[in-house]
Amino acid sequence: MADEAITEEASSSPDLLMELLSSEELSLDTVDLRPSTFASSDIRNVLLPLMTNLSVRVLYLPMDRIDLVCAKTITMMTTKNVGPPFEELHLSNLPSEEHNIESSESSRKIASMIISSLKQNKHIKKLHITPQDVLHQSIPSSIASILYDNTVLTSLNLRGCGISHAGATKISCALASNASITVLDLSNNQLGNAGICSVALALELNSTIQKLKVSGTNIGREGGEAMVEALALNKSLEVLDMSRNSLDDVVVTKLARSLKLNTSLRQLSLRSNSFSTIGALCLSLALYDPKNLQTVLDCNHTIQFLDIDSNQLSSECIMHTNKPLRWNALGSTENETIRKKVSAFLLESESSYLSFRDYFEDTTTVQHLLPNVLGSIKNSTVMYYLVKNLAVHSITATSRPDALSVAKKSSSDSMFSTDDKCNECAKDDNTCAVPEFVNVNNN
């Protein structure tokens, strides 16, 4: 507790911070130079002991108080990989409106110099740039330049940086060939359709981005459709936030079709857009479509979280849309999720038991699916119809022993009952279903 109190006090005392950085007994994880108590001269003094410290992992720099001397010291640490092995670098406080044009331009050049120095850095994994003012056009260019060369950076936060579609295009071109970035936040930038189209193109080519946030970026129909096409091709994205945009029913309907082709997405936020019940229904059918067994199999089985609040939807519609997520969330694997959905479909529709074979053009699909389906059904009548129809109409001779062993195991687990009657031939399951299965196999 004493160490924490000293560390907290050092965050507002330049002298104490320098003493801690020079100490061999105490270690600091984070150095935050943003408090107003740190003038440019204090930052210069802090950077000297920082160069010999090996414990600091996170560094916060206020760019409006970083002069040329500080910038050169920082770039020496990043380019030569001397000093502490930073893992996170936060650049904030770009000049506000009261700064004159000359000092503002100087600060932006310094920011570009520091960012460009990360090209060869081997330690920094997270870069956060969080100003409130619009970035100078040179900043996106500097960011793009490091994305071409840096192979260590994994997280890039550009939230609320005032990046335009032109800046987004520069960054996206670099991301298309980048193989290290896994997290990208472009929220609260005025990318527009042009900017988001370039991001979507990068997403089609990139194979490492796992989390993308484009909330509040003025995405309309054109940009939304571009993202839909990217989702159908991308194989790495797991989290996508497209909240607070203008996605309508047309875009969301196409998005629902695209989700059936995507096998990686786990979380999707469409909060505060412009779609209605039509779009929500399409999303629901993308997650579970009980029209027939093939449509069940063709659904998306990976999305576990879907946020559609604050659209033109009733609470009942939101609950109905999210209902199929229970299978995706409960399944520890995609195969288990499919198994649960297929079982639910079979238990909901009696006619499906008798026409199981009609949903497949080849028997290979049935062969791979059968053991999992049988392993999850708890109703002996359903089991009987399923096994009998598959045995007679669908399963090839080489696959029947496996199916039979699964059926016998199910029987030993009390999934078959000797008291159950076969409605088709009025015989006990014990003398009808399994023996007929065996006879078919022996012919």
Structural contact between residues 217 and 186, judged by C-beta atoms closer than 8 angstroms: yes
Does the pLDDT value for residue 168 go beyond 90?
yes
Cα separation, 234 vs 242, whole angstroms:
16
Cα separation, 92 vs 115, whole angstroms:
12
Q: What is the pLDDT of residue 419?
A: 38
The DSSP element (H or E) to which 306 belongs, if any, is strand 305-307
Q: What is the pLDDT of residue 57?
A: 92
Task: Give the residue carrying structure tokens 């039509």.
Answer: 278
- 432 or 157: whose pLDDT is higher? 157
Three-state DSSP string of 83-102: CCCCCEEEEECCCCCCCCHH
142: Cβ–Cβ under 8 A, 6 or more apart, which residues?
111, 112, 115, 116
**Pairing status of strand 211-213 against strand 183-185:** parallel
Does the pLDDT value for residue 357 go beyond 80?
no
Copy the structure tokens of residue 73.
Answer: 């010291």
Copy the structure tokens of residue 304.
Answer: 């576990």
**Alpha helices, DSSP H only, in 188-324?**
192-205, 221-233, 249-259, 277-287, 293-297, 315-322
Structural contact between residues 130 and 92, judged by C-beta atoms closer than 8 angstroms: yes
Does the pLDDT value for residue 228 go beyond 60?
yes
Does the pLDDT value for residue 288 go beyond 50?
yes
359-416: per-residue pLDDT in tens? 555 545 554 555 555 555 555 455 555 544 544 443 333 333 333 343 334 334 433 3
Cα separation, 324 vs 333, whole angstroms:
16
34-89: per-residue pLDDT in tens? 888 889 999 999 998 898 888 899 999 988 889 999 999 999 998 887 788 889 99
Q: How confident is the model at residue 96 (pLDDT cuts 50, 70, 90)?
A: very low
- 15 or 154: whose pLDDT is higher? 154
Least confident of 38-47, 141-150, 292-301, 397-406: 397-406
Cα separation, 32 vs 18, whole angstroms:
12
Cα separation, 356 vs 366, whole angstroms:
9
The torsion of the CA quartet 320, 321, 322, 323, rounded to 10 degrees, works out to: 40
Mean predicted confidence (pLDDT) in 318-340? 79
Q: How confident is the model at residue 279 (pLDDT cuts 50, 70, 90)?
A: very high
Helix axes 138-149, 101-116, angle to 10 degrees: 10
Mean predicted confidence (pLDDT) in 266-295? 92
Does the pLDDT value for residue 443 go beyond 50?
no
Structural contact between residues 405 and 365, judged by C-beta atoms closer than 8 angstroms: no
Structural contact between residues 139 and 115, judged by C-beta atoms closer than 8 angstroms: yes
Query: Which of 302, 301, 313 has its CA nearest to residue 273?
Result: 313
Q: What is the pLDDT of residue 198?
A: 96
Concatenating the DSSP letter of every residue in 431-443 gives: TTHHHHHHHHHH-
Q: How confident is the model at residue 22 (pLDDT cuts 50, 70, 90)?
A: confident
Structural contact between residues 396 and 363, judged by C-beta atoms closer than 8 angstroms: yes
Copy the structure tokens of residue 13.
Answer: 């005392």
Within 13 Å and on the Cβ side, how many CA atoms surround 183?
11
List the strands of the sheet with 58-62, edge to edge: 30-32, 58-62, 88-92, 126-129, 155-157, 183-185, 211-213, 239-241, 267-269, 305-307
Task: Give the residue carrying structure tokens 């990976």.
Answer: 302
Cα separation, 357 vs 38, whole angstroms:
74
Q: What is the pLDDT of residue 93?
A: 73
Copy the structure tokens of residue 269.
Answer: 């936020």
Q: What is the pLDDT of residue 395?
A: 37
Q: Measure CA of the first residue to CA of the last residue in the chain; give whole Å.
A: 80
Query: Which of 376, 393, 367, 392 has its CA nearest to residue 339?
Result: 376
Q: What is the pLDDT of residue 15?
A: 84
107-123: per-residue pLDDT in tens? 778 888 899 899 888 89
Does the pLDDT value for residue 206 go beyond 60?
yes
Mean predicted confidence (pLDDT) in 201-208? 95
The mean predicted confidence, pLDDT, of the chain is 77
Task: Give the residue carrying structure tokens 């870069």.
Answer: 127
> Which letter does DSSP use for residue 407 in this model?
H
Structural contact between residues 94 and 63, judged by C-beta atoms closer than 8 angstroms: yes
Residues in the chain: 443
Structural contact between residues 245 and 218, judged by C-beta atoms closer than 8 angstroms: yes
Sign of the dihedral defined by the CA atoms of residues 130, 125, 197, 322, in that order: negative
Q: What is the pLDDT of residue 44?
A: 92
Cα separation, 82 vs 340, whole angstroms:
54
Least confident of 103-117, 133-147, 349-363, 421-435: 421-435
- 75 or 102: whose pLDDT is higher? 75
Cα separation, 324 vs 289, whole angstroms:
9
Does the pLDDT value for residue 435 go beyond 70?
no
